[in-house]
């Protein structure tokens, strides 16, 4: 049983300087990354991707094909790492788990009435337990944005804590759906609530709402993670999702990650990209590095 906890004043986030956060995030796009550093960055970004299929028309075959791609990237370019995870609906977890067996690629599953979050807590908990029982290593939940925007912060806190309990050993990614929160102050408040309630990751978006991930929003969340770490000594992972389809932009995100949280966060244990289209762009860039020519996008499978 999860008991209601009043969020104390000292956990309330600082006011976010909009001009300052946007100026700082823009500076990361000015860095020049070349040669071996660029190659290493692309490899790292590829290894941080959660390949995703979250459509009503998903079939067993589509999920199996995505899993095959995840573990056979070296067929395109020998020596490539795998992606971090495959993310699917709970009904597809068992299929993905079997297809990825022995690969080291994790199975993530959205839950809690994704993407709207408009369901009772009991349904959300059962949804989560179903995914975990069928093999999910990670659960991506959505917060109740309506409750949050009504100021019912304790409701949001308790719901996250209940889902975390239902996850058992699976890691919990808490999706804020920042496009619906609108302001940086609300994003920071939601980030803090999620972390104190037990999130293992905080995640920007479902990918179903625009705008999705942006560099300023991600910086607000990274700074929340940094401050939480200074207060508690506990590391929290980050996942920007949606709208990161190009390699150059992914490299800018990695620069921002390194300069905000440091090298300890520079692995797929602590940072992910929710952007399936990014994988193909990285593959094209790596082939350019190897051969000197860009491959046509049609050479790569469409996720």
216 assigned to some structural domain: yes
24 assigned to some structural domain: no
Domain total for the chain? Answer: 1
184 assigned to some structural domain: yes
- Residues of the chain with pLDDT > 70, as a percent, come to 91
For residue 86, the surrounding DSSP H or E stretch is: strand 85-88
Tokens 């944005």 correspond to what residue? 145
Is residue 277 within 8 A of residue 302, CB to CB? The reply is no
Name 267's Cβ contacts closer than 8 Å, sequence gap at least 6.
Answer: 44, 48
Residue predicted with more confidence, 165 or 280: 165
pLDDT of residue 10: 43
2 assigned to some structural domain: no
Is the whole model's pTM more than 0.85, yes or no?
A: yes
pLDDT of residue 246: 94
Phi, psi at 172, each rounded to 5° = -110, 120
- Is the pLDDT score of 302 beyond 70? no
Closest by CA to 267, choosing from 101, 80, 53, 40, is: 40
- Is the pLDDT score of 138 beyond 60? yes
- Is the pLDDT score of 109 beyond 70? yes
Alpha helices in the chain (DSSP H): 18-27, 35-47, 60-71, 93-99, 121-133, 145-149, 153-167, 178-181, 184-197, 215-232, 247-261, 276-291
* pLDDT tens digit sequence for 15-28: 899 999 999 999 99
78 assigned to some structural domain: yes
> Per-residue confidence at 2, pLDDT binned at 50, 70, 90?
very low
Range of the domain at 248: 35-299
Rounded to an integer, the average pLDDT of 185-203 is: 96
Closest by CA to 132, choosing from 166, 105, 89, is: 166
- Is the pLDDT score of 1 beyond 50? no
The CATH number of whichever domain residue 286 belongs to comes to: 3.20.20.70
Return the active site residues: 140, 203, 239
62 assigned to some structural domain: yes
> Per-residue confidence at 3, pLDDT binned at 50, 70, 90?
very low
- Is the pLDDT score of 80 beyond 80? yes
Rounded to an integer, the average pLDDT of 158-177 is: 98
């Amino acid at each position: 049983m999860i008991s209601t906890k009043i969020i104390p004043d000292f956990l309330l986030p600082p006011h976010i300087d909009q001009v300052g956060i946007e100026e700082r995030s823009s500076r990361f796009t000015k860095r020049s990354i070349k040669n071996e550093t660029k190659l290493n960055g692309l490899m790292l970004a590829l290894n941080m991707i959660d390949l995703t299929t979250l459509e009503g028309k998903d079939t067993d075959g589509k999920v199996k094909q995505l899993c095959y791609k995840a573990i056979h990237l070296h067929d395109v370019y020998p020596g490539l790492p795998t992606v971090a995870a495959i993310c699917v609906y709970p009904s597809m977890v068992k299929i993905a788990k079997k297809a990825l067996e022995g690969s080291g690629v994790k199975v993530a599953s959205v839950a809690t009435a994704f993407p709207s979050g408009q369901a009772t807590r009991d349904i959300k908990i059962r949804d989560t337990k179903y995914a975990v029982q069928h093999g999910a290593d990670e659960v991506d939940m959505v917060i109740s944005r309506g409750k949050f925007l009504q100021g019912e912060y304790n409701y949001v806190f308790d719901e996250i804590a209940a889902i975390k309990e239902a996850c058992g050993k699976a890691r919990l990614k808490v999706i804020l759906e920042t496009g619906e929160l609108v302001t940086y102050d609300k994003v920071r408040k939601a980030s803090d609530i999620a972390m104190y309630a037990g999130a293992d990751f905080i995640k920007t978006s479902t990918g179903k709402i625009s705008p999705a991930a942006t560099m300023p929003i991600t910086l607000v969340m990274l700074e929340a993670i940094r401050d939480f770490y200074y207060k508690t000594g506990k590391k929290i992972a980050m996942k920007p999702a949606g709208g990161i389809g190009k390699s150059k932009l992914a490299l800018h995100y990695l620069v921002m990650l390194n300069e905000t949280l440091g090298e300890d966060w520079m692995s797929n244990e602590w940072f992910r990209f929710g952007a399936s289209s990014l994988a193909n762009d990285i593959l094209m860039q790596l082939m350019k590095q190897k051969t000197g020519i860009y491959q046509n996008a049609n050479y790569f499978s469409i996720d």
